Each structure stands twice: as structure tokens, then as C-alpha cells.
Structure 1
Amino acid sequence: MNDSAFSAPATSSTAPRRWGLTVGPVQYLWPRERLLAFYAQLADSPADCIVLGEVVCARRRELRLDDWLALGRELAQAGKQVVHATQTLVETEADLRQIERLGAETDPWVEAGDASALALLQGRVPLVLGPHINIYSHRALQEHADLGVVRWVPPLELSLQAVACIQPPERPVVGWSGRPIETEVWAFGRMPLSFSARCFTARHHGVPKDRCGFPCLDDPDGRLVRSGEGEDFLVLNGTQTQSAGVHCLLGQAKALAAAGVQRLRLSPSSNGFAQVLADFDAVFNGGASPQGRSAAWAGLGVPGPLVSGYAFDRPGMAATATSPLEMPA
């Protein structure tokens, strides 16, 4: 493997800190035309990294692997770092062959959705540990470093305090690139909580999974489920269950910096996402105040409510915190 594939641009120690902004994979089933239009807009966006691929259901084929690879080449020509993501729930030999194909490409970064991707691709391509890889200790991250890992996305339920303990800013785990493994935290979007071999959307519509007719096309931000008391509870997205609340860390730059975070992951919504991305860039890289910015998102169709409990060791449905995190000494 070419060691240059693991290299990241060098930054001056005197230059102002710049936060990396990653657009995560689209978790929902959008029509092909909508997907292509969405990524065409991202080519001129503040995001410097874009994660591509179908990560929820192998039967969703609005774009096939060749389409994703071609789209990745176009975005790379526009100056974006491209990461191709593997499925989170690998069930068939065909799923494994898709992963093998990614490893055979010339120079892609790949985000491992599960352990099978790590087993197939270790040492072959630069790897990103996706949020569903079970990294819950400093030692676990060290054990994964030799697989070719250059970046990790902590599990969503981890607090920022726990993230700082797993990848301490003062003694970070170093990957094959010779640089510390980058920490990228989920900073916006409904949180994927679980995956199943069953399709909950198909079950809701009373159709078999293998002949579902893709009713999730009607739910571009998932299907909201309410509790018996009428409160927003969960979101169904095919084989995936998500939080009803939208995790948002727009006003938490100090807490994120104290935890050693370098990159923010923003998960796409069907409406208003361009403004969300612009606001994160303005706050984290432009020095703008976060006050009042998220209040305008609902009018653009961005789902809510906004929550941030997990980041501060509270229930995940807790409303967005307003005070910065105090990191341990």
C-alpha cells in the first residue's frame, strides 16, 4: 500500500485552528435525481470531506457502487476528500463482494461500518472507524491502529469526556500515517441507534421485506414514531432505528476542542441542510456567534427537536446544553 494515501495536509502551528466538516452518508432512501442534486450542491459547500454510500439497506439501489465511485471522483476533482462507507449490517456474500471492490480501488478512504470491513480491508486502504465499531477504551483504539486506521468516529452514546479519555489530546494513539488518529464527532443529525435484519418500515406497511416496493421513499427523513403519551420517541428508517431528537453541538466549540476533537460530522436532512452546514462553518471556522442560528432551521424544514444529552453524559433526549463541558484534569 502507498504510504502517501495516509497523508493529511500539514498545517502551520501558528495558523488559526480550522475545524474539519464532514458530511456523513445520506441515511435515508432518496430518489436518484435528488441524491445527485444534493451532492452537486456539496461540491461548492464549506464541507471538506464527504462520506458516500448506502449504509442502511443493501436493497436500496438508487445508486449502485459504480455510481458512487464515479460520484466520488467528481467530488475529489472539486477538492473534497471522499470516503466510501460500507454497510453497517452485512448479511450476504454480495455485501462482502462490495467491500472487496472498495479495497481494490486505487486510492479510496473507506469507512468501516462493521468488523467484516475491517477484516477484509486491513492494511489495504486508509480506514475510518465508523460510529458503530465498538471502540470504548484507549486500549481498543490502540488495537485497531495497526489495521490502517487514520480516523475514528466515536460511538454516538459516548460523552465528550469519554472521547477525551479514549483518544487523549496529550497522548493520542498514532495510526499508520505516523500521525495521531483523528477524532470526528457526530455533531448534527438524527442518531442511528440500532439495526436489524427486519425492516420496520416494511412491517409498518404490512409488506414483506424482499418485496417491499420501497415505501421508505415516502419518508425522506424517516418515519416518526410517538409514544402512547403522544411524545416523539423514535424514527423508523427501514432496518434502522433512529432517535427522534436531532443531535446538535453547534454551540459547543470549547467542549469539543477540550475533548481533542478535530472534525465534525453532519448527517444530511432532506431540507435546510445547506443552511445547517453554512451555520456550522460560520460558527466553528468564521468565529460567528451560535446564538439564534438554529432557531431559523425549523422554518426551513430541518427536523427537531435539537438534543445533545449524550455528549454531556446525560440521557440522549436531553435538550441541547448551553454550558461548556468541564474536562477532567
Structure 2
Amino acid sequence: ARCAPSFIRASRIAHRTSRASVFMGVSLTTTTRVAAATTTTTRVATTRRLRTMVVRRAGGDADGAVVAPGTRTVVDDASKTMGALVRARSAEAIASRGVFSIALAGGSLVKALASVKDYADVDFTKWRVFWVDERCVPHDDDESNYGGAMKALFNDVNVPKSQLYAIDETLCETNAGAAAGCAKAYEDALKALTPDVIGVNDQGLPVFDLLLLGFGPDGHICSLFPDHELLSVTEGWILPITDSPKPPPERITFSLPVVNAAREKVFVASGEGKAEMTAIILEHAPLDGSIPAALVTGDVTWIIDQAGASRLKK
């Protein structure tokens, strides 16, 4: 049994939904823009709107170089570049705080993350690993983000099992409608780790060192979908969703304020299938909730391969 704890035409997104949610709140409208910086990257700054200049990198020794936080870089090998970034951020966090807190999305992103295994100097024993969203299914289910990450990376590295913070799969043995219980249990587990493992900001939100975010063809992030009421929720760290437009319908997800509170958010856009939405997010950035990825603020780092950058303006 399963329960839940994951173009717009010329100017609008075609996929819109109207769904009910038990959560209400004030919409979040802060966004980012990208201001030109050096000859190889563009620096992201908080402002009214996301605007960027595209700087392409030819690849070669650029791939695998460490990308600065809040920048956008186009490379030949996004996986290699992401591995180098995660290695660097891990070392910085461990040197500063003795621990590295990282939260992951599912899908192809964790397969790209597997390149971090190439580095022998990564201290995986200091990692604390979380998931930005999860389907409430057993860990061995093909739909499990935790299960996918274990197969792609964590079965092969020495992160202690106790430091992999998966949902309690026993809560998924109940009938449909247990999303709220899954979300509460996960939020309680996170709160028990503050402030030593996960920092807390002045607003009382958890501050993860790094979020690795995917985005769907509709621009959704985590399990925050276009035009969904959960986008405006300002209370709570972990939210239940019972009407996901993608199966399974019941899941848990980080709230948008929790996403934005992280020290750094990394998007990886790899392949032609990501090209159209990448261009929409970076060059149009609608702020009406039709594309949740456009609402991510702060230090937002983009790693884009050549195919993923093919729709960006020259």
C-alpha cells in the first residue's frame, strides 16, 4: 500500500491546475535576476525579476571546475561539474561547521550526482542527507527518491545509514490520506537536528548547506506544482500533498520558504528535454506561480550542458 510523504504558449504555461489544499498563506513574490559578472559566469543577485546574460564555456578543463555559488555556467559535462561543486561545498561546510547538510531531489539528478564518487577526498562520514520531496512508498519501490539515490550513489559510499534521513516507510503502510502524518514525522525529525546539524535562520527556518533541485517540464520543483496552493504556504517546513498531478498523488515536500532559506540551491539542466523550460525560467521568469522554479531565490547556481542551453538567447 502507498501513502504520501515529488510552454507556456508564447507567454503562459499550458499546464494549469485547480486543486484544493488545507494550507493557505501569503504568496511569495521575491525573485532573482542575474547580473553580468566575469567572462565565464554570471552572478545572481536578489531583485525584482530574473534576467541573465548567457556565457558559454567551451568545455575541456572547464568541465569539472568548481562553479561559484549563485552563478550560471554552460559546460559539456554537467555531471562532472556537479560532482566537483558538491565536493567543494562539502569540504567548505565540514571545515566550517564539521558537517555537510545536503538535500536532494529525485530522478536524473541523483544519477548526475554519482560523479562525486570519483573523488577520494570527500569525507562522506560527515554528510547528513535529506530529500526535498518524497513519495510515500516503500524504500525499495521504483518511485522512491530515497531508493533511487541509494542505487545511484549511497550504496557505494560510506555515509552512515543513520545519517540518511529517509521517510519512515512504516507510515506508508496505511491507507491513502496519511500524507499529513508522513510530513509531520519528517519535520519533527529535522527539528530534532537543529541547530547542530541543520542551522536555523532568524525566521526560524532550517538552513541546509546545499539543495540539489531538479525541475519538471512544467517547471515544478520538489513536489511544488504549478499554480498549487502549497506555493503560498508560509508556515511549516514539510508539507503534505495529496493531489499531485504526477503519480503517486500523495507525497511530502519542502515548503518554498525552506527551499529559499538554504545557503545554496543548484539546478542542473542536462539534455534537450530541459532546454525549453530552462529558457523560460531564466529569460522570462513568470512570478505568478505558473512556474515554481522561477520563485527560487538567494544563491541559485545553474549548471547547464550544451543541449540544455540550446534555447537560451545567444
Tell whether the structures are fold-level matches, with TM greater than 0.5.
no
TM-score by length of 2: 0.32
TM-score by length of 1: 0.31
Higher relative contact order (CA 8 A, sep 6+): 2
